[in-house]
Amino acid sequence: MTQPAPSAQHNGPDKGAVAAPSDTPPSKSGGGMPALGLRLDVRILSLLGVLAALVLVGGITEPDAFLDTGNLQLILTQASVIGVVTVGMTFVIISGGIDLSVGAMVALASVWATTLATQEYGFAGIAFTAVIVGLAAGLVNGVLIAYGNMVPFIATLAMLASARGLALQITDGKTQIVTVDSVLDLGLPDSYILGIPPLVIMFAVVVIVGWLILNRTTFGRRTVAVGGNAEAARLAGIDVRRQRLYLYLLSGLCCGIAAFMLIVLAGSGQNTNGNLYELDAIAAAIIGGTLLSGGRGTIVGSVLGVLIFTTITNIFALNNLQSDVQQIAKGAIIVAAVLVQSRTMRGRET
Amino acid sequence: MAPEPPLLTMSGITKLFPGVRALDGVDLEVQAGEVHCLLGQNGAGKSTLIKVLAGAHQPNDGEITWRGEKVQLKSPIAAMRLGIATIYQELDLVEGLSVAENVFLGHEPTSAGFIVRTGEGRAAAKALLARLGHPEIDPARHVGDLSAAQQQIVSMARALSHEVRLIVMDEPSAALDPDEVDNLFRIVEGLTADGVAVVYISHRLEEIRRIGDRVTVIKDGRTVAVGLPAADTPTRDIVAMMTGRDVAYVFPPRPDEPAAITGEPVLRVQGLSRKGEFAPVDLELRPGEIVGLAGLVGSGRSEILETIYGARKASTGTVTVAGKQLRPGSVRAAVAAGIGLAPEERKAQALLMTESVTRNVSVSSLSRFARIGWIDRGGERKAARSATRELQMRPDNPDAAVRTLSGGNQQKAVLARWLLRGCRVLLLDEPTRGVDVGARAELYAVIRRLADEGLAVLLVSSEVPEVLGLADRVLVLREGEVVHTAPAQELDEHRVLDLVMEGSPTP
């Protein structure tokens, strides 16, 4: 045992007062920045890997049915509706919030846009109404949360209940068949552009615009700042309330667009539309790497999350497996993704 | 010297994190009944070392010997069973539970193994609190209702509720007032008299001199000195060992003549008050001037800054910047008028920890780099970098996540934010809290230079020498009232402490 005696030993080279070691490699361009989204980090690569594996499984179990062009178009179309909702949800979650009312807003917008009165105004009437109803519902959420100081969970839960109720009141539980041909045509193979359904193109546009807003604009920056540290954002001079209001408006807008897409796809409006979309959208964002506590997330990750879920559903349906098995598989994937997520987080800790 | 083996010996402790060698062969040896001080800059590995000692981290290499026997600390519970307790810097109390419930969290006195005997717990907690010199804390109160200092006491009571032989205290005095620090020292002395060893971590050398027995210095994950006598090792030597270079703890010179600070006040505060926090305050700041606010924690210092900044809404009074009166309670109005705040809690109130330096610096000036919301990222990066360069941030990596920076560099990132914004009035709340001794002198020089370039600076610090050394003019606060105003040269530490303490009940 060493006796306690004064001694000074200088070990190693003196590097001077240097900051704690950085795990971000220095880079000349902005390419290494964390929140960029496009950066092919481990998470995005692993999601791509999962998707590739699913395609492989689909290709092996049902080679003819799965890889059929029509089936692939179907997968993408189905992914488009929930995908648009997920883009809005991703913004809200990155800001540290949550929007439980997306499914109900989709339902409300889809039935309001398909009433007989609205259909008289044709294509424009349906599209306009769907978007406006979505925005209006989002506005109510935003005002309650940003200026009424309500917890997002509660405010949007209330919206979920009342929007569903209003949708039922409008339809009286009946399916509202769409008779406007120009709307229905959008869903037909004749309108496919280079084999791509118009709905998929709409989804792609929403994704690209969403990515640009998140990564290239002040709006995106402020969203991340509010979610990462709302108090710091406020003290840095950001109008946190207004930002929150805009975010729920954005989610409502996405729901309005999704409602229109659903009308095209189903050829009708129903008060049961968008059932459990909130859970699918939250799950897709989470497995895509968006932190539920806010401050971090990517549009690309969320899109991959949506594609993974939609592909699983498709493969299970092709293999005649019941939806109960699907639900279990989805649950397992969410758990696995969050476990991976918390592992990588722990690895970063010092 | 002591014939029996040391209470604790840690040798060659190595801890690797992905990409980081946090500990690279640290040695530590603690005797029963001593106060052993652990010194090192932020990032030197102190926190990692005490987490290894607490069983929260598993070392990759190295040996731990406890009372002559080799042990492995596989979990916090294992460490606690041996008698090692840790009081972390960030308090780990459950605010919604009572004092007694927090003290006995995880080992509540129970009947039949699961029915909590509330009365017994409260009585035992009461006894522990009394032993710690705070019999006035009611064990039934919610911890969330207590002051930071009282919470610290509860934390300590929790540590003592186990059978302890070694207590690790990580910056226990950071949130305490001078008289509370005295109480803390009394507690430490009582513990060591009972043969308990204390591992004491602090940035404040004067505290280490007062209560420490021996000092171990670590730097870059290695032990650079063991067993130095705490009382008489020259400060210069200690600083040199911590930083690897000779840095005097110096303040930059003031402008030659105080008369150099002239011109119209850029900030004028008139009759500003907040009910229950501070009485009406008048103050004026001229360009080039540094004004210090000295006072105890709870004297209203931070509250005054935050009210000027609009983060709190004033009950009465006005804030005027360059002749324009600000809308009360609006941070945005204050920022637009050219006020910047470097708040007390940097991590919680100023920084986006996972974001890059560039993004943290540009966050208050985004619209300057944006056309219809579209950010010119090249321009943003360049401007942010020139601001951090002007403040001599090292290493100069604009893409590094702010959480990987040292305290001094994090503070520079906050200052760079306001420099980039082009502010005229800078409000600094505890600008060197959590900043290493070596980096402080540099920060002082930066602050003085900003003032020389025409900024008006309002400084709050609980370290009186810092206020006296850096400010031109000092306002002394006591219980929300300005009790004295004088040029800094006319004051000394004792005078300020007298003014600050005067009238307050002596313990």
Give me the CATH number covering residue B40. 3.40.50.300
Domain boundary among the residues B372, B407, B422 is at: B422
Q: Is B376 on the interface with A (CB under 8 A)?
A: no
Q: Does A38 touch chain B (CB under 8 A)?
A: no
The verdict on B90 and B221 lying in the same domain is: yes
Residue ranges of chain A with per-residue pLDDT less than 50:
1-38, 347-350
Q: What is the distance in angstroms between the Cα of A179 and the nearest Cα belonging to chain B?
A: 40
Contact B245/A at CB under 8 A: yes
Backbone angles phi, psi at A141, to 5 degrees: -55, -50
| Residues A130 and A189: beta-carbon distance below 8 Å | no
* 8 A C-beta contact, residue B292 and residue B471: yes
Nearest to B6 among A1, A12, A26 (CB): A1
Distance CA(B99)–CA(A33), nearest Å, equals 44
Measured in angstroms, the CA of B310 and the nearest CA of chain A are apart by 9
B225, B363, B439 member nearest A236 (Cβ): B363
Cβ contact B374–A216 (<8 Å): yes
Write the residue in B5, B31, B401 that is nearest to A24 by C-beta: B401
Across A273-308, b (16+ Cβ under 10 Å) vs e yields bbeebbebbbbbbbbbbbbeebbbbbbbbbbbbbbb
Cβ separation of B244 and A216 shorter than 8 Å? no
Question: What whole-number distance in Å separates Cα of residue A28 and Cα of residue A26?
Answer: 7
Residue B48 touches chain A, beta carbons under 8 Å: yes
In a domain, B404, yes or no: yes
User: Given this model, what pLDDT does residue A17 score?
Assistant: 36
Residue B62, SS3?
strand
Min CA distance, A81 vs chain B (Å)?
27
B contacts of A17 (beta carbons < 8 Å):
41, 243-245, 406, 408, 436, 438-439
Is B352 within 8 Å of chain A by CB?
Answer: yes
Please indicate, yes or no, if residue B162 is contained in any of the structural domains: yes
Give the burial class of A324: count Cβ atoms within 10 A of its Cβ; 0-12 exposed, 13-18 middle, 19 or more buried: exposed
pLDDT attached to residue B393: 86
**Inter-chain residue contact B18 with A347, CB threshold 8 Å:** yes
Give me the number of domains chain B comprises. 3
Contact state of A23 with B20 under an 8 Å Cβ cutoff: yes
Alpha carbon separation from B443 to A85, B132, B252 (Å, rounded): 48, 37, 10
Check whether residue B237 and residue B254 sit in a common domain.
Answer: no
pTM assigned to the model: 0.74
Same domain, B401 and B433: no
A29 touches chain B (CB under 8 A): no
Judge contact between A296 and A286, C-beta under 8 A: no
Tokens of B235: 């400060």
B295 lies in some domain: yes
Q: Report yes or no: A22 at the B interface, CB cutoff 8 Å.
A: yes
Residue in B223, B336, B399 closest to A24 by CB = B399
Cβ contacts of A235 on chain B, cutoff 8 Å: 309, 311, 331, 341, 343, 349-350
A242 close contact with B: CB closer than 8 A: no
With an 8 Å Cβ cutoff, are A24 and B374 in contact? no
Residues B252, B227, single domain; the answer is: no
User: Cβ neighbours of residue B111 under 8 Å, at least 6 residues apart?
Assistant: B117
Write out the two tokens for A105: 């807003």
Closest chain A C-alpha to B276 CA, distance in angstroms: 23
Q: Which one of B190, B212, B243 terminates a domain?
A: B243
Is residue B504, in this structure, part of any structural domain at all?
Answer: yes
Quick one: closest CA in A to B359, which residue?
Answer: A221
Q: Where do the domains of chain A lie, and which CATH numbers do they carry? A: 40-342 (1.10.3470.10)
How many A×B Cβ pairs under 8 Å? Answer: 192
CA distance B385 to chain A (A): 12
Assess whether B237 and B309 both reside in one domain: no
Single-letter residue type at A84: V
Instruction: Name which of B332, B363, B377 to mutate to probe chain A: the one with the most chain A Cβ atoms within 10 A of its Cβ.
Output: B363
Q: What is the pLDDT of residue B19?
A: 58
CB-based contact, B16 to chain A, within 8 Å: no
Regarding whether B28 and B113 lie in a shared domain, the answer is: yes
CA B369 to chain CA mean position, Å: 34
Min CA distance, A9 vs chain B (Å)? 5
Q: Beta B425-429 vs B456-461: how paired, if at all?
A: parallel
Q: Are residues B404 and B447 in the same domain?
A: no
Tell if the CB–CB gap between A8 and B405 is shorter than 8 Å. Answer: no
Task: Give the separation between CA B417 and CA B437, rounded to whole angstroms.
Answer: 23
| Cβ within 8 Å, pair A237-B364 | yes
Measured between alpha carbons, how far is residue B388 from residues A29, B104, B412, B416, B427 in Å?
Answer: 17, 47, 7, 6, 18
Mutate one of B213, B404, B410, B442 to test the A interface: name it (highest A CB count within 10 A): B404
Please check whether residue B439 is in contact with residue B203, taking contact to mean a CB–CB distance below 8 angstroms. Answer: no
Longest CA–CA span in chain A (Å) reads 95
Residue with tokens 């999601």: A47
Residues B198 and B283 in one domain: no
β-strand pairing of B35-39 with B20-30: unpaired
DSSP code per residue over B13-51:
EEEEETTEEEEEEEEEEE-TT-EEEEE--TTSSHHHHHH
In a shared domain, residues B318 and B209: no
**Shortest CA gap A234–chain B (Å):** 7
Task: Judge whether B1 lies within some domain.
Answer: no
For residue B303, give the nearest of B422, B479, B492, B172 by alpha carbon: B479
Number of helices (H), then strands (E), belonging to chain A: the values are 15, 3
CA contacts within 13 A on the Cβ side of B327:
6
Residues B410 and B433 in one domain: no
Chain B: residue whose CA lies nearest to A27: B399
Across the interface, do B48 and A348 touch by the CB < 8 Å criterion? no
Beta strand spans in chain A (E):
7-8, 176-177, 268-269
* Nearest neighbour of A17 by CB, restricted to B225, B366, B439: B439
With beta carbons under 8 A apart, name residues in chain B contacting A239.
Answer: 332
B68 in the same domain as B145: yes
Intervals of chain B under pLDDT 70: 1-3, 18-20, 41-43, 90-91, 236, 239, 243-249, 256-262, 297-298, 437, 501-507
Residue B325 lies in a domain: yes
Looking at the domain assignment, is residue B343 inside a domain? no
A237/B404 CB distance under 8 A: no
CB contact under 8 A, B406 and A20: yes
Q: Which residue of B has its CA nearest to A8?
A: B225
Q: Contacts of residue A8 in chain B, CB cutoff 8 Å?
A: 224-225, 228, 237, 241
Contacts of B382 in chain A (CB under 8 A): none
Per-residue pLDDT, B62: 93
Q: Which of B243, B273, B299 is the last residue of a domain?
A: B243
Q: Is any Cβ of chain A less than 8 angstroms from the Cβ of B222?
A: yes
Is the CB of B13 inside 8 Å of chain A's CB atoms? no
B227/A5 Cβ within 8 A: yes
Q: Chain B residue with minimal CA distance to A350?
A: B17
Token pair of A11, please? 């070990």
- Residue of chain A nearest B369, judged by CA positions: A218
Element (H, E) at B339: strand B339-342
Look up residue B444 and give its DSSP letter: H
Q: What is the rounded CA–CA span in Å between residue B89 and residue A257?
A: 50
Best to test chain A binding among B16, B236, B366, B392 (most A CBs inside 10 Å) = B366
B residues 399-428 lying closer than 8 A (beta carbon) to A: 399-401, 404-406, 408-409, 417, 421
Asked whether residue B200 is domain-assigned, the answer is yes
Q: CB distance A17–B438 less than 8 Å?
A: yes
The answer on B444 and B379 residing in a single domain is no
Per the DSSP assignment, residues forming a β-bridge with B198 are: B35, B167
Please give the residue range of the domain that contains residue B119: 8-243
- Residues B230, B214 contacting (CB under 8 angstroms): yes
